[in-house]
C-alpha cells in the first residue's frame, strides 16, 4: 500500500482508492502541470487510480530547472517511477505528454525490469514516426514566441497579458517546446500493448491522418477517436474523453481478470453522461 508521504515530488494530486486495480500515470502538455489532471480521480471509476506526474519547473517545482531534451527526462522518469509499476498500470499523455508516454513505454521495454503498461493512451500528438514539419518555435525572439503561444491557445489570455508572470513562465515554455521540437524518432519494433489515440477535429497542428498513423506503433489494437475542438480539446471535451478512456481501461481490466466487459462496466457517474 503506497502512502502519500512516501511519494516524491514527481507525483502530485494523487488520491488513493481502496478498490484500485490499475494506476493511470498522466503526463501534461507543454507548459502544463499535474493540476491538469487534479479532478480526474473524482471522475474516473474506483478501479482506476490517477497518478498525475509533476515535471520540474512548474507549480511546487517551479524553482527546479525544466528538462530541455527528451532522453534525459525519460531516463529520470524510468528511475523515479519504476517502484510504482508493481501493479497493472497505463499511461495517458496529451501533446508533449503523449511523446513522453510513448518513449517511456519503449524505454521500459528495453529495460526489461518490469511489465509494460496495459495500454498507451496518447492525445493531441501526431504519430511519432511522422516528421515534424512546422517551423521551430522554442528559440524564437520573445515577441514571436508570444504570437505562437496565442496561436496555440493553450496559455490563458490573462497570463499572456501579464508581463511579469509571462517572464516567469518563459523558461518552462521554451524548455518544453524544445523537448518536443528537438525530438528525433528512432525506428524500433511496434509495441505489444494496445494504443488509444485521441484528437481534436479542429486541431490545426495534428491532422486526422497523422493521428491515425499511431496504428503503425503497435502490434495490438489501436482505437482512434476524435472530439470537437482544437488542440486543447481535453479541456472542453473532458467528459466524453474520460468516458472513452474509462471504457478502454475497464475493457483491459476485464480481459486480465476474465470478467466480461459488460460486467466490469457497472460504474455510473452523473457528471459523465
Q: What is the three-class DSSP state of 6?
A: helix
Residue among 160, 201, 206 at smallest CA distance from 31: 160
Collect all residues with Cβ–Cβ distance below 8 Å to 158 and sequence separation of at least 6.
Answer: none
Residue among 232, 248, 11 at smallest CA distance from 123: 232
Please name every residue paired with 198 in a beta bridge, in sequence order, or none if there are none.
123, 225
Residues annotated as part of the active site:
95
* Whole-number Å distance between alpha carbons of 207 and 205: 6
Residue with cell 519504476: 82
Collect all residues with Cβ–Cβ distance below 8 Å to 212 and sequence separation of at least 6.
Answer: 127, 197, 224
Q: Which three cell numbers stand for residue 268?
A: 455510473
Residue among 221, 222, 219 at smallest CA distance from 190: 219
Q: Which three cell numbers stand for residue 46?
A: 474506483
Taking a C-beta distance cutoff of 8 angstroms, is the pair 16, 49 a contact? Answer: yes
Sheet holding 22-27, edge to edge: 48-52, 22-27, 89-94, 120-123, 195-200, 222-227
DSSP string, 190-211: PBSS-EEEEEETT-SSS-HHHH
Amino acid at each position: 500500500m503506497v502512502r502519500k508521504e512516501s511519494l516524491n515530488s514527481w507525483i502530485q494530486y494523487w488520491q488513493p482508492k481502496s478498490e484500485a486495480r490499475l494506476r493511470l500515470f498522466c503526463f501534461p502538455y507543454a507548459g502544463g502541470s499535474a493540476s491538469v489532471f487534479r479532478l480526474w480521480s473524482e471522475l474516473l471509476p474506483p478501479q482506476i487510480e490517477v497518478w498525475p506526474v509533476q515535471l520540474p519547473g512548474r507549480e511546487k517545482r517551479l524553482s527546479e530547472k525544466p528538462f530541455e531534451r527528451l532522453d534525459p527526462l525519460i531516463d529520470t522518469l524510468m528511475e523515479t517511477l519504476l517502484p510504482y509499476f508493481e501493479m497493472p498500470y497505463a499511461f495517458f499523455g496529451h501533446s508533449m505528454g503523449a511523446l513522453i508516454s510513448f518513449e517511456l513505454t519503449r524505454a521500459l521495454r528495453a529495460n526489461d525490469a518490469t511489465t509494460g503498461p496495459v495500454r498507451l493512451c496518447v492525445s493531441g500528438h501526431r504519430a511519432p514516426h511522422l516528421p515534424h514539419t512546422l517551423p521551430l518555435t522554442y528559440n524564437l525572439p520573445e515577441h514571436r514566441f508570444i504570437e505562437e503561444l496565442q496561436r496555440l491557445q493553450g496559455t490563458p489570455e490573462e497570463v499572456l497579458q501579464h508581463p511579469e508572470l509571462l517572464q516567469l513562465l518563459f523558461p518552462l515554455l521554451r524548455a518544453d517546446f524544445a523537448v518536443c521540437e528537438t525530438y528525433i524518432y528512432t525506428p524500433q519494433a511496434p509495441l505489444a500493448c494496445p494504443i488509444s489515440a485521441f484528437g481534436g477535429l479542429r486541431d490545426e497542428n495534428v491532422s486526422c491522418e497523422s493521428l491515425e498513423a499511431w496504428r503503425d506503433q503497435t502490434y495490438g489494437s489501436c482505437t482512434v477517436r476524435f472530439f470537437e475542438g482544437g488542440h486543447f480539446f481535453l479541456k472542453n471535451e473532458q467528459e466524453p474523453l474520460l468516458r472513452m478512456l474509462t471504457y478502454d481501461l475497464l475493457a483491459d481490466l476485464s480481459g486480465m481478470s476474465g470478467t466480461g466487459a459488460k460486467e466490469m462496466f457497472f460504474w455510473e457517474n452523473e457528471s459523465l453522461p
